[in-house]
Amino acid sequence: MALTQVQPGMLGTPQPYSFKNRIINGAMVIDQRNAGASVSSASTYTLDRWKDTVSATGKFTIQQNAGSVTPPVGFTNYLGITSSAATTVAAGDYYVLDQSIEGYNVADLGWGSASAKTITISFQVYSSLTGTFGCSVRNSAANRSYPFTYSIPVANTWTTISVTVAGDTTGTWVTNNGTGLRLFFGLGVGSTFSGTAGSWSANNYLGATGATSVVGTSGATFYITGVQLEVGVSATTFDYRAYGQELVLCQRYFQAIGVGSAKPLCFVGYFSSSAFQGCIRSTTTMRAAPTLYITTGTNYYIAYTASNNDYVNSVTLDFASPDCVEFYNNTEASGTANAAGPFATANASAFFGLQAEL
């Protein structure tokens, strides 16, 4: 099959076999951490690659397919937000949904130079509220931002949004494995972090002045899917990727290695009667050396030996690289020196993962 050659003036047309959509998990299909369960806002990652960034916790909940409405045509999943109370947003408050895009994935934009490329951001949105809503694109240093707005004219109806942003010709934009740019969807942003829509500013703006506050209404809903950020002056069709490909893209930043009971993780070796050590290779090379993302509590993990089933409550990270982690336990182990055996989860609520988020 021949590749499509992009000719001058073809900005905004599909480009097969390319990473057209710089957003990962824009169709909200991957949820390794929560498997569809509802979580409360706490400045943490929720569905893969999507984070709620908030000045105060517990103001809304986030869930894959919250409310069980029918997704827009062509999609099976969405990220749903529900306001937990009527929250007054003070000047310094911020409640946003955002994704950080790795610098390697936007290096070709040329932002911070005279050749900065124009991008188009498109998505499907559904809310119980109507009005003008705010977003922003910002650099990692939080000193260059572009607030913009979009309109939801009819409540509880999927609306297609497309906004074009001229590339920033100044400022510093990371092009390595750090944060290249961040895309924010405002859910209630105070005046300190809100700016005039439609122009670049040397400020840390997370939203646009005058935008609707989702958290300001108790029980208000905000659902979103089909998020795409691409090079060009107009939106093209959503860049669907195979589920396995999307999962691997997510696993560069987070990997659920073992979830639930009786999930084998690796082999461990006892180097004394009260300590063992193990190593797990990451599923794919991660963005950076990961940290452990694990549940801790009574009997969450178990190391089997010929003479003992050694239940432990936690393990400690000893060494990490983008390709593997080494961990140990020397406070609860009670095995046999020089023995070896499988290490596994031992509790239905156990979760063992690796995290290298931006």
| Predicted confidence (pLDDT) per residue in 81-95, tens digit | 999 999 999 999 999
With a CB cutoff of 8 Å and minimum separation 6, the contacts of 61 are 38, 39, 40, 41, 81, 82, 84
Q: What is the model's pLDDT at position 333? A: 86
- Helix H segments across 181-330? 243-251
Structure confidence at residue 2 (pLDDT): 36
Provide the residue ranges of all domains of the chain, joining segments of one domain with +: 39-251, 254-355
In CATH terms, the fold of domain 39-251 is Jelly Rolls (2.60.120)
Joined together, the tokens standing for residue 329 give 């336990």
Residues of the chain with pLDDT under 70: 1-18
- Summarised one tens digit per residue, pLDDT across range 256-296 is 999 999 999 999 999 998 899 999 999 999 999 999 999 99
Query: 46, 260 in Cβ contact below 8 A?
Result: no
> Which pLDDT belongs to residue 12?
40
- Predicted local confidence at residue 334, as pLDDT: 87
State residue 60 phi and psi, 5-degree precision.
-155, 165
User: What is the pTM for the complete model shown?
Assistant: 0.93
List the beta strands (DSSP E) in 248-339: 254-259, 264-272, 275-281, 291-294, 301-304, 309-312, 316-321, 324-329
pLDDT at 221: 98
pLDDT reported for residue 11: 40
